[in-house]
Structure 1
């Protein structure tokens, strides 16, 4: 019986492989090379195992083996296998050889892998250094990955590779500090969002700023029979590639992940209008500066470009144009305009969206008056990579019958676990939030159901402490006990002074 390889062994080998790069290149860049190599190794080992199975079944009949292999999920040829690259590890052109192999894999699998590797260059002097240095790095990388055997028969469980990929992305995110948050949402936050929006069979699930796709995968996994369609869009080319690979490694072959700026160039359209989705989950970049630059056009050289609602062909900013230095409500409006009837949407945002005034205040007022906001949930501080600021989750719903908004303050001690670098939402913390949301009830010092009128009275300010009072009353001070305490101390002091005088006399001082 073949010895199975478990999650931990794979994770350890992968983390060792990163030592090749550490200190030479920023982890927010070298993650791309590690994750692409993991993908290639997995494709290659799967291909090899299936080839051997067919060779046995068809008694070495090349014609029949070839026909069977052509029906595989991914097609490879000899020059694009990991073995071929490993054999060439000492070649002075190894970077170019890897690039050609990746190009070839794309060509052979046009329908699925078109453009997946185009943003990741193994022959880049800018990133990997001069030939001598670059070749040494790539040789070590191939040698590290050669230790991994990812044949399907050796993997303990279907999700091992997908989980290893997610593990690495999480590691890189914590390693990369501020840049980490750009491509990864902590899994406990993704889990919370997925449970709040409750994806169902045949839903379209969408994330307009999907990063490496972890939020989408968490939501997809909540659909009992996995019958749902995933849509995402990502602006960063390398992250878009990681997201596509992440989908394949989780067995999701038909995800539609587009590459481009969602605000100025939304790519999921139907009949030239924004496509509608039953479920939207998102963790857009917090308070994105210059979010509207894509609307300026190449000919506009005016440094003081001012975004106007009329510049958007999809008319997403008719409730108001967010300030140019804070894109939060630009993403929220895009999502609300993309939400289907009876759609549910969960978004992670900074607290400023709850109370900032000017144009953001006007947009917030419209959203509340249209009865789209369902819940405001305050999260603990320091949950996210690269920022200690506490965030909140806003839950929106189309066609709401309720005329209230639920406020939850889950930021207090006891609602999370303190970590060394980062705080963590535990299973019970997530469950407490979800239960409270589902029961939609007021709980002392934790949640409050506010009427729309109360929110109006507060001038549409959604700051959580206005609704959930977490103030702990202090015990009243017993003045008699304090007096008695002072008298006792004075008496003790007198005794000590008497004793001291005695000692001084004895010493003849």
Structure 2
């Protein structure tokens, strides 16, 4: 499995594709958005494979396409009941990659995929956090910062999509490597952009020290961050608590801007 440092190096090298023409905060939004959509696609395929009892040596994407042709609505409901959302075969990240490999890629397909995902989400307390996740204000694929013309934008978007092509996001999420990559992006690019708006990122090392101090309180039942930002400080505290403490702990946070990530 790829290491945390290897992912960080890949993200940094990939930044050269857009960094010259795009503000750091916007670049970060595209990277995080595409990375998370890859996770949603991988999770959909993994859930389908588990529910269908597929062996590990089959092409899950191909099997998912076949099953969807036969059981469309029933299959979507089965996955949605388990995840609270579903990514249909034609909107999967893997479909984008397939289109790129066959010369059929269109930027509009990505835009449609992101919009379709939000429409597929079943409204619950947990999934309400997905609302507006891929809105045009966050991921505007027509932004001229991505390129002055459609061909240039398409080339740059494809380069970003390729960054996560071979990564199993579900496995990385379980090993917390995905979380490390997220914090790396925030740390590298949020500081530069945040200063312009009076926003400042708390370095991970500082968060660790603060979290360890808070975690020494064995009777802790709630934690509050008045400048919660991405919520990483609250989650860092959680990592230093026992399973028993985590079960009774309540998390609270507020943020002035509307660009809060949860």
Per the alignment, residue 182 of structure 2 pairs with: 165
Equivalent position SS for 1:146: coil
Matched, 1:30 2:27: yes
SS in structure 2 opposite 1:71? helix
Aligned counterparts of 1:136 and 1:15: Cα–Cα separation in 2: 18
From 204, 224, 235, give the equivalent of 2:222. Answer: 204
Provide TM-score, normalisation by structure 2. Answer: 0.74
Q: Name 1:459's counterpart in structure 2.
A: none
CA distance in structure 2 between the partners assigned to 1:81 and 1:50 by the alignment:
14
Would you say the 8 A contact 2:28–2:190 is kept in 1? no
Q: Aligned-pair distance for 1:18? A: 1.5
Q: Which one of the candidate residues 59, 66, 80 is aligned to 1:70?
A: 80
Larger relative CO (CA 8 A, sep 6+): 1 or 2?
2
CA apart distance, 1:135:
1.8
Aligned mates of 1:75, 1:195 — CA distance in 2: 38
Give 5+ residue unaligned stretches, structure 2: 56-62
Change beyond 3 A, Cα 1:129–1:147: same
Quote how far apart the aligned CAs of 1:80 are.
2.9
Distance 1:184 1:10 in 2: 21
Bigger mean CA deviation after superposition, 79-88 or 23-32: 79-88
Moved over 4 A (4+): 60-68, 88-93, 174-177, 199-202
Match for residue 121 of structure 1? 139
**Structure 1 or 2: more helix by fraction:** 2
**Structure 1 gaps, min length 5:** 245-509
Comparing 202-211 with 137-146, greater Cα deviation is found at: 202-211
Which of the numbers 223, 237, 254 marks the counterpart of 1:233? Answer: 254
Task: Describe the superposition over 1:399-427 as per-residue Cα deviations: whole angstroms up to 9, x where unpaired.
Answer: xxxxxxxxxxxxxxxxxxxxxxxxxxxxx
Shift of 1:69: 2.1
| CA 180–190 in structure 1, closer or farther in 2 if over 3 Å, else same | farther
- Shift of residue 172, structure 1, vs aligned partner: 1.8
Change (3 A) 1:42 1:195: same
What do residues 128-171 of structure 1 show as CA deviations (whole Å, max 9, x unaligned)? Answer: 2432332221121122222433342xx49531211221122112
Task: Return closer, same or farther for 1:208/1:46 CA change in 2, 3 Å cut-off.
Answer: same
Distance 1:156 1:121 in 2: 22
CA distance in 1 between partners of 2:177 and 2:198 (Å): 24
Query: What is the Cα deviation at residue 49 of structure 1?
Result: 2.5
User: What's the Cα RMSD here?
Assistant: 3.2
How many residues align? The count is: 234
Q: Does 1:138 align with 2:157?
A: yes
2:241 maps to which residue? 223
Hey, what's the Cα distance between the residues in 1 that align with 2:7 and 2:91? 22
Aligned residue number for residue 58 of structure 2:
none
Q: 1:189 to 1:17 in 2, by over 3 A?
A: same
1:67: Cα distance to partner?
5.5
| More strand, by proportion | 1
Q: Highest CA radius of gyration, 1 or 2?
A: 1
Match of 2:97 in 1: 86
TM-score for both structures, normalised by structure 1: 0.41
Query: Contact between 2:194 and 2:200, CA under 8 Å: does it hold in 1?
Result: no
Find the counterpart in structure 2 of residue 150 from structure 1.
Answer: 169
The Cα shift of 1:126 comes to 4.6
